[in-house]
Structure 1
Amino acid sequence: MLTSGSGPDGEETARQQAEDLYTGLPKDGPEPLAAVQPAAPTLAAEPATPYTPPAYSRADALAELFIDDTTLDAALAGLARRRNLLLQGPPGTGKTFLARRLAWLLLGAQDERRVELVQFHPSYGYEDFMLGFRPDAEGRFHLVPGVLPLLCQRAAADPSRPYFLLIDEVNRGNVPRIFGELLLLLEADKRGPAHAVRLPYAPPEMPRFFVPDNLYVIGTLNLADRSLAPLDYALRRRFAFVQLRPQFGEPLRAYLAAQGVPAPLIERLCTRMTALNQTIADDPELGPDFEIGHSYFCQPPKKEPAEAWLRLVLEQEIGPLLADYWREQPAIAAAQFRKLLA
């Protein structure tokens, strides 16, 4: 069993676990804390010269994101209003890339010390995200905080600056199981100690948990994966949503030109990918969520000929994706692939 048992021995074990995880337990009942507090690790000495992360501005964001001012403003407004944002769109539209840049933009710097990235998957659970029992090297179980309480603790200790939790592939995980009571605490008007709750598994002495107001959550959502269930509506109503679309227009063309890709090749790539995406969007079995994003083409080589690079991307990445899209109609996949190579 994972519990500490009953009776005096069990109570002593629970008390000891709480003391291991918390500092400053209250004498007259639990006080809300932003997160469980594990024993402080041994840290290396601070460098003589404090690290200053590179600055990051709106101009920097627009220079490397293939979105316009309207989309960027919508994302920033959603974060300011809801504290929680989901970026959704077809594969390859730069959702995770944008999530990190939004955090940097609000931080004003590329400060990874205040950004935490996790990826949901079918095996990821509440115990990983929030709080659960974990065995130590000797096989004894202890309560261990997950990524969210630890980040909340840091944010609560530094309330004048924002902190960010980035969740990649939100809908690949069992969202209700992972979030648990956090669904309530995520709401913008349910932040802070006044809304603290007691976590499951926590002994009576353990402080309650709350989400600080300066923690922002940015998730990404891939709608093209047919193996995933729709996003839980209880979570959906607590997030603002921004839709991303493939961008094969002028920003991508200018970027590829700056990377040395010849203009005729850029024109051919963008024209044919736009036509392919229209075919995908018009297919009743697919639709706009299955369009192919621009990020497949954002890393042209410095030394390899651009023509050879593009052919490799088409053959090794786009072709297999088309075969999966039209797995019951391979002739259509083959025809569309030939158009790209022509």
Structure 2
Amino acid sequence: MSVVHAEGSSLPLQPLLTALRAEGHSDRTVPSLDADILDTHDPQTFLDHLIAFYRRAVPQGWHEESLRRSASLLRYAVAHVLRGTDPLPQRLDRCLEPDGAYFIPGLGREFWSAVAQSLAPRTLPRWIPSVEAGARRAGLIATRTPNGSPAAFAELCDAYARLLASTPDLTATDLDDLFHRIAGMTDRELPPSVADDKPRRIESTLREIRTAVPLRKRLKDHAGTTPPLTPAAWTGLRQLDDAFPEGLDSADETTLLAEAVTQLRDRYRVHSLEVGDLLERLAAPGERPNLARAFHGFCGDSFHFLRDLAADNRREWMDAHRDRYQFAVREPMVELCEALTERYVRPILEKEYGWAIECEPRTGKALTSIVKNDYGQTTPYVPEMWLTFYPKAGPARRADAQLFARLDATGLSFGFHLGRTAREAGKRLRTAVQQHGPLLFDALAATTATALNFGDGPIKSADDLRTWAAKKTLSASQHLLPDAALLRRDDLVGEILLTFDRLLPLFAAAVDENPLPVLHRRAGRPEAKAVFDDESFQTSTLLSDVWLDRVRGLLKSKKQLILRGVSGTGKTHVAKSLARLLTRDRADAVRFVQFHPGYSYEEFVERPTDAEGSVRDGVLLGCAAEANRRPAETFVLLIDELTRANLPRVFGELLYLLEYRGEAVTLPYSKRTFRLPSNLLILATANPGDPTADTLDQPLRRRFAFMDMPPDAALLARWFAAHPPADPDPTFGPRLLKFFEQLNARIARDCGKEWQLGHTPFMIPDLTRDKLATVWKHHVTPLLDASRGSADLLASFDLDRWFGSEKRPIAPPEALPPF
């Protein structure tokens, strides 16, 4: 028997029965109905007994009045169910269908299944939608059998009879609990048993609709009569109340609806104007997980099975528990192998590093067998299972380096492994440790891999690494205990691939004859070129170490930073240099994009490409994907002219992620869940003179750190010290600095700080009076012409008055060197 998870996939029922037994019997009691009450001649006594039974059987029932309205028919209907001679499914059908001889409006499946179950509470099922749904997922009811039909109940009764015959320690109430929980399964773990959640659902949904539309506003906007229920609202009502079968008489429907609305009002304080909205929200289907994709986690029985196998290691025992093995051990290991292959082995180990890796999820390839190949000399099974990724070109799995995950009764271990039979790989690794120990240690330390368990604990130096490498079997790993919540979630895949990535320098040292390129890159010391370090940054930008420390602190705090200043202050150059420094000069880790007024969400995040729903990643998602593939490295998205675009329109719902890193949103086109990777930094430049800069300043401050870059005469002086002007007048440089300072002071006073001139237009090698005149005419004057009071300003700062009156021709702009 199997529990159907999705089309074409199933899981065996036996592990779930095992988990149920481990918990003990269900604490639910079947409400008793004394059949002798049918023989009483006192109608009131009979009615009181049935009302008491109704309250026990349907604790959230809304139609107690139905029993009073139909007291005479009720006696015949109960007698038909309890004492009729036709098959029980047919008897129940006559009570449940509107055209049935014993149908009573207001009494649904929950009531009548309780009446039927009182006949044999230890063997008959509770025929309610959730139990039937769970039995269908278990494959106990054929897919062609209509929901809620007598045939479905008959198949359910037959299934209970078979199960109870093979599991005499269980009762029908235990199976009811099991199938009710199976109906809500989202992974391999049997969810906890919960009471009826109808009150919680109503209360939480009511809070949601009142948050969206307060009752006071609803009352204020109301005009006329309350509108009738929509089809969606009727669907929600039927999910709460089984008293509304299809084909119900309209008069009965109106009466029952009035009773339901009264109960919502009296029990939950729902206003009649809120009823429709409440029911529509309740009708919205929850997203059912597609358990045919991704990794669905291990379960408690994964570890119980391996413990039980170690205690009773016989073929006969394994034959009786093979379904448990497939469901709890092998299938999750196959899924884990496929998920790691898709997310790490293919894109990183193979595509990026060029290693051909064995990753086929079957025995003899990436998975080990639980069967021992010792021809009966010892116990037949190994109570553990390995998942190993190793080079295809190597001699064999045991004779090569492995990135592994190992499942046994103590939990799950994963990391790097090199067995004593891996002679060639061991020789390469030990040679790399001896020759490049400090470099290899730095490569591991750069991603905190040194804090993992290297057999006897973490390593703290290159000497510790050498001591570890001298052992016969080498392992560096992380271990999760069986009760770790991470083992039950798809997030486990991310934790394992991150550990693999942190230990990649060891794998490279074991499989590559020349691992130095990988080690240099991982240690932050590119091999073929000079390192772009703090000193290089300061030389390139002329900014101080104090400035750099402050920027690093801001990025550590918010992970996104805006360099803000007027044109010509070198914002873009500084941002590019900072990106080089943060990514250790890895060009493929920096993505540059320039915003403009027409820039859109579709360009930045994602764009639908056709009517079939295909979606193409934008700049941000492409950059995030790269960052996710290499989680141990820093990536930078550099946005130039940030405030020239309409930021709420470009970022959309991602503005939320900028403020709440680590949380996720659902993208509107692809419907994917997306979160910003923690290793993705965002640098941006902005000009305070942009029209949108002031209006967006406050929202941006919540999401970005700001670093102002004003015009800086001191920085220009440092430039002149390193690149002295070539003008024959030795006072030209100091006079130009004074000119620059006084010009900006006058601009700030008369025109506003946003019109000040940056220092970079004057940072020209071999600057002379002639070159300055060209800069003034072709770069400065057009900027000042746009500001108010520019005519008086230009007259006050005449170059001839400041630098001499000798008339010289002004060079054309193309004669200027780039700056």
TM-score above 0.5 = yes
Give distance in 2, aligned partners of 1:267 and 1:244. Answer: 22
Residue in 1 that maps onto 2:604: 129
Give distance in 1, aligned partners of 2:574 and 2:290. Answer: 42
1:121-152: CA deviation from partner (whole Å, max 9, x where unpaired) = 111010000011247xxx99842110000000
Residue in 1 that maps onto 2:564: 88
Residue in 1 that maps onto 2:752: 286
Q: Which residue among 600, 621, 627 is the counterpart of 1:149?
A: 621
- Identify if the C-alpha distance between structure 1 residues 219 and 30 changes in structure 2 by more than 3 Å, giving closer, same or farther: farther
1:270 is the counterpart of 2:731: no
1:238-261: CA deviation from partner (whole Å, max 9, x where unpaired) = 111111111222x43343343341
How far residue 196 of structure 1 moved from its aligned partner, in angstroms, is 2.3
Give distance in 1, aligned partners of 2:291 and 2:607. Answer: 25
Conserved 8 A contact 1:319-1:337: no
How far residue 172 of structure 1 moved from its aligned partner, in angstroms, is 0.1
Conserved 8 A contact 2:613-2:670: no
TM-score (norm 1): 0.75
Give distance in 2, aligned partners of 1:90 and 1:146. Answer: 29
- Identify if the C-alpha distance between structure 1 residues 66 and 128 changes in structure 2 by more than 3 Å, giving closer, same or farther: same
1:152-192: CA deviation from partner (whole Å, max 9, x where unpaired) = 000011111100011111110000000011112123x522x
Identity of aligned residues (%): 32
Residue in 2 that maps onto 1:167: 639
Give distance in 1, aligned partners of 2:691 and 2:656. Answer: 28
Conserved 8 A contact 2:560-2:704: yes
- Identify if the C-alpha distance between structure 1 residues 141 and 314 changes in structure 2 by more than 3 Å, giving closer, same or farther: farther
SS at match of 1:105: helix
Tell me which amino acid in the other structure corresponds to 1:310. L
- Identify if the C-alpha distance between structure 1 residues 87 and 76 changes in structure 2 by more than 3 Å, giving closer, same or farther: same
Q: Which residue among 640, 661, 681 is the counterpart of 1:190?
A: 661
1:221 is the counterpart of 2:686: yes
Q: Which residue among 229, 232, 235 is the counterpart of 2:700?
A: 235
SS at match of 2:797: helix
- Identify if the C-alpha distance between structure 1 residues 266 and 226 changes in structure 2 by more than 3 Å, giving closer, same or farther: farther
Q: CA RMSD in A?
A: 3.2
Residue in 2 that maps onto 1:261: 725
Give distance in 2, aligned partners of 1:100 and 1:341. Answer: 35
Q: Which residue among 578, 586, 589 is the counterpart of 1:114?
A: 589
Q: Which residue among 216, 228, 244 is the counterpart of 2:709?
A: 244
SS at match of 1:166: strand
Give distance in 2, aligned partners of 1:26 and 1:103. Answer: 40
- Identify if the C-alpha distance between structure 1 residues 83 and 129 changes in structure 2 by more than 3 Å, giving closer, same or farther: same
SS at match of 2:562: strand
SS at match of 1:161: coil
User: How many aligned positions are there?
Assistant: 291
SS at match of 2:673: coil
Q: Which residue among 769, 787, 809 is the counterpart of 1:307?
A: 769
SS at match of 1:225: coil
1:97 is the counterpart of 2:568: no
SS at match of 1:241: strand
How far residue 216 of structure 1 moved from its aligned partner, in angstroms, is 0.3
Give distance in 1, aligned partners of 2:539 and 2:623. Answer: 30
Tell me which amino acid in the other structure corresponds to 1:74. R
Give distance in 2, aligned partners of 1:30 and 1:123. Answer: 38
Matching of residues 37-48 of structure 1 within 5 Å = none
SS at match of 2:745: helix
Give distance in 2, aligned partners of 1:78 and 1:181. Answer: 24
Give distance in 2, aligned partners of 1:122 and 1:226. Answer: 11
Displaced runs of 4 or more, over 6 A: 43-46, 48-51
How far residue 337 of structure 1 moved from its aligned partner, in angstroms, is 4.5
- Structure number having the greater helix percentage: 2
1:87-132: CA deviation from partner (whole Å, max 9, x where unpaired) = 1112111111111122222223x32210111111111010000011
Once the two structures are overlaid, the 10-residue window that deviates more, 272-281 or 251-260, is 251-260
SS at match of 1:218: strand
Tell me which amino acid in the other structure corresponds to 1:334. A
Q: Which residue among 513, 538, 547 is the counterpart of 1:62?
A: 538
How far residue 232 of structure 1 moved from its aligned partner, in angstroms, is 5.3
1:39-85: CA deviation from partner (whole Å, max 9, x where unpaired) = x9xx9998x99685541111111122133333222211111111011
Give distance in 1, aligned partners of 2:709 and 2:803. Answer: 26
Give distance in 1, aligned partners of 2:802 and 2:784. Answer: 11
- Identify if the C-alpha distance between structure 1 residues 158 and 88 changes in structure 2 by more than 3 Å, giving closer, same or farther: same
Give distance in 2, aligned partners of 1:235 and 1:53. Answer: 38
Give distance in 2, aligned partners of 1:155 and 1:52. Answer: 23
Q: Which residue among 665, 670, 680 is the counterpart of 1:202?
A: 670
How far residue 336 of structure 1 moved from its aligned partner, in angstroms, is 2.9
Residue in 1 that maps onto 2:763: 298
- Identify if the C-alpha distance between structure 1 residues 70 and 45 changes in structure 2 by more than 3 Å, giving closer, same or farther: closer
Residue in 2 that maps onto 1:72: 548
Give distance in 2, aligned partners of 1:254 and 1:273. Answer: 14
Give distance in 2, aligned partners of 1:52 and 1:120. Answer: 34
Tell me which amino acid in the other structure corresponds to 1:171. T
Greater radius of gyration (CA):
2
Give distance in 2, aligned partners of 1:341 and 1:321. Answer: 21
Once the two structures are overlaid, the 10-residue window that deviates more, 233-242 or 312-321, is 233-242
Give distance in 1, aligned partners of 2:294 and 2:703. Answer: 28
Give distance in 2, aligned partners of 1:29 and 1:337. Answer: 73
How far residue 277 of structure 1 moved from its aligned partner, in angstroms, is 0.7
Give distance in 2, aligned partners of 1:227 and 1:325. Answer: 18
Give distance in 1, aligned partners of 2:352 and 2:634. Answer: 25
Tell me which amino acid in the other structure corresponds to 2:719. Y
Conserved 8 A contact 1:121-1:172: yes
TM-score (norm 2): 0.33
Conserved 8 A contact 1:128-1:147: yes
Conserved 8 A contact 1:54-1:111: no
- Identify if the C-alpha distance between structure 1 residues 183 and 228 changes in structure 2 by more than 3 Å, giving closer, same or farther: closer
Give distance in 2, aligned partners of 1:325 and 1:225. Answer: 14
Give distance in 1, aligned partners of 2:737 and 2:712. Answer: 9
SS at match of 2:786: helix
Tell me which amino acid in the other structure corresponds to 1:258. A
- Identify if the C-alpha distance between structure 1 residues 157 and 270 changes in structure 2 by more than 3 Å, giving closer, same or farther: same
SS at match of 1:60: helix
Conserved 8 A contact 1:159-1:214: yes
